[in-house]
């Protein structure tokens, strides 16, 4: 079992949540994950990492699978101009490779905002630290677990 998957499973257990991780098959994209989980595209939680242009500080935006993050709206929330983080910064900060970035179990905590669209569902699915593993969770539990702030940041 990968160290990344172990960190996600431990984060769920530490929060008193059931370990709902499973190998879904190829799930690098939201479309692949939705197909593997048998759910609607918007039930997939995409973890999008941005970095401050001046500070370099990392910010995480959790959005529904069919939505795209507006860099302008995200920058307003963060209080500085943001750019998409490159793979090296994502790995160094979160401990996950792009395509498997989980919303939980990061090496370095960062501010997190969540797309309100995700709250329309009883269950959502997120990457579990690898491009092949996911976990299911109630949106409210995800908000609590990540201390995410609901906000409008989509295009």
User: What structural domains does the chain harbor?
Assistant: 3-150 (3.90.960.10)
Give residue 10's pLDDT: 96
Quote the pLDDT of residue 89.
93
Q: What is the pLDDT of residues 72-92, one digit of tens each?
A: 999 999 999 999 999 999 999
Residue 133 reports pLDDT greater than 80? yes
Q: Which of 13, 54, 33, 15 is nearest to 131 (CA)?
A: 33
What are the tokens at 140?
């409210």
pLDDT score at 26: 86
pTM of the model: 0.94
Would you give the distance in Å from CA 48 to the centre of its chain?
6
């Amino acid at each position: 079992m990968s160290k990344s998957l172990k960190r996600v499973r431990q984060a769920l257990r530490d929060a008193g949540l059931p370990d709902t991780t499973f190998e879904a098959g190829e799930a690098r994209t939201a479309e692949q994950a939705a197909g593997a989980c048998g759910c609607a595209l918007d039930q997939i939680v995409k973890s999008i990492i941005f970095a401050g242009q001046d500070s370099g500080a990392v910010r995480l935006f959790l959005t529904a699978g069919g939505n795209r993050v507006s860099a302008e709206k995200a920058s307003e929330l963060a209080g500085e101009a943001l750019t998409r983080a490159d793979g090296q910064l994502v790995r160094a900060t979160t401990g996950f490779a792009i395509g498997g970035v989980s919303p939980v179990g990061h090496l370095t905590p960062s501010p997190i905002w969540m797309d309100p669209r995700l709250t329309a569902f009883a269950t959502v699915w997120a990457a579990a630290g690898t491009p092949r593993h996911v976990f299911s969770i109630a949106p409210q539990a995800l908000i609590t677990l990540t201390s995410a702030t609901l906000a409008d940041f989509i295009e």
